[in-house]
Amino acid sequence: MPGSRTGRPPVQRAVRRPAPARPPHDNAVRRLYTRVQRAWDRPLTAYYLILGGSLLITVLGLVMVYSASQITALQMSLPGSYFFRKQLLAAAIGAGLLLAASRMPVKLHRALAYPIIAGAVFLMALVQVPGIGVAVNGNQNWIALGGSFQIQPSEFGKLALVLWGADLIARKQDKKLLTQWKHMLVPLVPVAFMLLGLIMLGGDMGTAIILAAILFGLLWLAGAPTRLFVGVLSFAALIGVALIKSSENRMARLQCLGASDPGPGDTCWQAVHGIYALASGGIFGSGLGASVEKWGQLPEAHTDFIFAVTGEELGLAGTLSVLGLFAALGYAGIRVAGRTEDPFVRYAAGGVTTWITAQAVINIGAVLGLLPIAGVPLPLFSYGGSALLPTMFAIGLLIAFARDEPAARAALSARQPRFGRKRAGGAGRGREPRRWNTMRRRASAARSSGER
């Protein structure tokens, strides 16, 4: 065997076997999945989902309120932007409430629970006083504030039940009283049924259903035994059946489930035309502002049935986007409730999530013809300042709770201001520090050595 130039025999190198080729598509999908999973598990994910999702729903709702309410306003001899301007004003006030709630400490939220529920009960009782309460669409659940402004106290009753119920259950859990069924039910269930009675005096069964959903959500989070939970649920169901059978209007709404024609006397007119609006939208819709059903065919196009107008103008893509935003909001609320160690935060976050999710499901299910028309607005989306204000305050609660998580607190405290401080790792990236930053650092070093 011929030698090398150094006289040594040449080294025999092992023959490398070619590695099995991996399809690049699988690697790309796996990397994308890993990145999404890491981003999903970050401590501030719930915070961003709640903040971003709620703002997107509110902004899109303002756009759709403007589009869906123009014809109704003109038919009432009002400016075309009348309802939009009122909703924009309510959204601006609600943004202030959201910001205030998101900055409040948990102790202040708990301190506000009793004043809020006392005020809600007083206003809900005031609705039944002749000359003060106002009836709208057959339901006397409104109080006139002067001019065209009205308030619906039952909407604030949802927020009151969430805060007060969460504080009550948290106190009993601290005292280890939830193992006894009487402490599980009293006084939570009697107070909730009192609120339900005040609401039903005005005939608003839709809001009563949402309030009942909040009650069951709180009991479920508190760990109510199955027999106790089923017993309360059965009792509420019997009352609901009796109330439905006692009203011809409610029975007519129940008979419109899955209806494909208005029926005799046009009893299912609203339900059927909601389906017509969704069916004519197609995949991408007829275009913003191009709805046909809002021209007097679809009642309550800018309130209870705004989701139908959204489907007609923005199509399946628009409705799925709205559903995705509500799903993200619901997931973030569940995540906040599941990761906290504070009982009040767990119950309050769960109650708010139950409230918003249940109301969205009932509204969208009614528009799709899957549930009876309950007359409840789509949260953060439909027209109505009385519904928007407490809902945005509740969103502020979720934001405050999401920021208060230990991991989220650590992530927020680790962040430094963009200006005025040198970012961590800046020198490693080869960036030169700012001149005034360097001078300040030298001044700090001079003070630490005793020079003044």
Q: Which residue has better confidence, 57 or 437? A: 57
Least-confidence region, from 166-175, 272-281, 410-419: 410-419
pLDDT of amino acid 15:
58
Residue 423's pLDDT band (boundaries 50, 70, 90)? very low
CA gap 113, 168 in Å, rounded: 9
Residue carrying the six token digits 């839709």:
206
Region label for 430, one of left (φ > 0), alpha (ψ between -120 and 50) or beta (otherwise): left
pLDDT value of residue 18: 60
For the ranges 27-36, 80-89, 123-132, the maximum mean pLDDT occurs at: 80-89
Mean pLDDT of the chain: 86
3-state secondary structure 46-81: HHHHHHHHHHHHHHHHHHHHHHHHHHHHHHCCCCCC
Does residue 64 carry a pLDDT above 80?
A: yes
The yes-or-no verdict on residue 427 having pLDDT over 50 is no
Structure token digits, residue 205? 């069964």
d(CA 223, CA 346): 12
Q: Which among 440, 404, 410 has a CA at the least distance from the CA of 422? A: 440
Contacts of 144 (CB under 8 A, 6+ apart): 132, 134, 150
* Three-state secondary structure readout of the chain: CCCCCCCCCCCCCCCCCCCCCCCHHHHHHHHHHHHHHHHHCCCCHHHHHHHHHHHHHHHHHHHHHHHHHHHHHHHCCCCCCHHHHHHHHHHHHHHHHHHHHHHCCHHHHHHHHHHHHHHHHHHHHHCCCCCCEEEECCEEEEEEEECCEEECHHHHHHHHHHHHHHHHHHHHHHCCCCCCHHHHHCCHHHHHHHHHHHHHHCCCHHHHHHHHHHHHHHHHHCCCCHHHHHHHHHHHHHHHHHHHHCCHHHHHHHHCCCCCCCCHHHCCHHHHHHHHHHHHHCCCCCCCCCCCCCCCCCCCCCCCCHHHHHHHHHHHHHHHHHHHHHHHHHHHHHHHHHHCCCHHHHHHHHHHHHHHHHHHHHHHHHHCCCCCCCCCCCCCCCCCHHHHHHHHHHHHHHHHHHHCCHHHHHHHHHCCCCCCCCCCCCCCCCCCCCHHHHHHHHHHHHHHCCCC
Q: What pLDDT was estimated at residue 439?
A: 36
Over the stretch 207-230, which tens digit does the pLDDT of each residue have? 999 999 999 999 999 988 888 878
Question: How far apart, in whole angstroms, are the C-alpha atoms of residue 330 and residue 336?
Answer: 10
Of residues 206 and 32, more confidence is placed in 206
Looking at the predicted structure, is the pLDDT value of residue 256 above 80?
yes
CB 163 within 8 A of CB 117: yes
What is the per-residue burial (b if ≥16 Cβ within 10 Å, else e) of 23-44? eeeeeeeeeeeeeeeeeeeebb
Asked whether the beta carbons of 277 and 308 are under 8 A apart, the reply is yes
Query: Cis ω on the peptide bond leading into residue 187 (within 30° of 0)?
Result: yes
Q: Which amino acid is at 1?
A: M
Confidence (pLDDT) at 282: 93
For residue 43, name the pLDDT band (cuts at 50, 70, 90): confident
pLDDT band at 252 (very low <50, low <70, confident <90, very high): confident
C-alpha distances out from residue 265 to 149, 252, 261, 262, 268, Å: 33, 11, 11, 8, 8
Joined together, the tokens standing for residue 169 give 């259950």
- pLDDT level of residue 443 (50, 70, 90 thresholds): very low
Q: Return the closest-CA partner of residue 283 out of 309, 318, 308.
A: 318
Q: Please check the confidence at residue 432 and state whether its pLDDT lies above 50.
A: no
What does the pLDDT average to over 53-70?
97
> 26-40, 237-251, 422-436: which range is least confident on average?
422-436
pLDDT band at 365, cuts 50/70/90? very high
pLDDT at position 9: 59
Share of the chain above pLDDT 90, in %: 60
What count of other Cβ atoms lies within 10 Å of the Cβ of residue 226?
7
pLDDT at position 32:
81
Higher pLDDT, 433 or 46: 46
List the structure tokens of 188: 């939570």
Q: Parallel, antiparallel, or unpaired for β 139-146 and 149-151? A: antiparallel
Most confident of 120-134, 242-256, 377-391: 377-391
What is the share, in percent, of the chain residues with pLDDT greater than 70? Answer: 86
* For range 370-384, the mean pLDDT: 94
The two three-digit tokens of residue 234, written as one number: 């059965």
Query: Which pLDDT belongs to residue 433?
Result: 44
Query: Average pLDDT for residues 292-310, to the nearest whole number?
Result: 94
Burial 442-451 (b: 16+ CB within 10 A, else e): eeeeeeeeee
Q: How far is it, in rounded angstroms, from Cα 139 to Cα 148?
A: 17
Q: Tens digit of pLDDT for each residue in 5-29?
A: 555 555 555 556 665 555 555 688 8
424 confidence band (pLDDT: 50, 70, 90): very low
Q: Which amino acid is at 166?
A: A
Q: How far apart are CA 246 and CA 31, in angstroms?
A: 59
- Say which residues have a Cβ less than 8 Å from residue 62's Cβ, sequence separation at least 6: 84, 87, 88, 91
d(CA 381, CA 388): 8
Residue bearing tokens 């009942």: 212
